[in-house]
Structure 1
Amino acid sequence: MDVKSIQNIDSARQINSQNLQALDQKNQVRIQKETIKQQEEKIEKLKNEKVSPEVVEKVLEELRKKLSMLNTQLQIKIDKDTDITVVKVVDKQTNKVIRQIPPEYVLKIAKYLDEITGLLLREKA
């Protein structure tokens, strides 16, 4: 076997290794998206039903456990300006927001509408 064929084998192994890593990352992202979608469906069902706070807390804890296995974190906060509940799925390593419900632009629109409403009421009075 000559040196060139050994180099070709090594480069092929490197390419295969890189391809496997890329596939693994894609699978993790796919699993995360599926989990988020399933949980969003559960949340939609809960919105349409009257549910006790204990049940909501149980569902949220279940969701947090599942997301922690995927190296993600669930954050639930109330926006100070609009009093709207904001749910964020955040990557633990990078602290990057993967998904936010409602999106940031919706919060900005709601804040803007509140400001306009306040101005109109002040002008009429």
Structure 2
Amino acid sequence: MILSVNLSLAASICLVSRIKSDETAFTLLAISMTLFSYWPILRNELIVRYPLSPLLLVILLCPPTLVMLYYRSSAILAVLHLAFHLFVILMCPWILIKMQSFKSTIHGPWDEACPDERSA
């Protein structure tokens, strides 16, 4: 947590250094530090209280992001964004489940010692 806050502060300072107005720079720095510091705590609390909140956040935030990408940037970027989301949300778990059948257990000297109940 401390490392991520330090990195967020460094990234925010790099972005703020490009802004001309002191008030705007301070506002951006304050908002970024608030979001980077308190969002993990808020996210964990939301997951504990409302287990479906991550799914709800994806459903609520993905369509506006796609619309903004389409109108502000390009349709190709919006399609790539949607394809990446679908790959991560649907394909990666499916691949993980399919790969479980190929998993093998290798025993060796690096394993934990198992007590032999017969020798006791």
TM-score using structure 1 length = 0.28
User: Which structure dedicates a bigger proportion of its chain to helix?
Assistant: 2
User: Which structure dedicates a bigger proportion of its chain to strand?
Assistant: 1
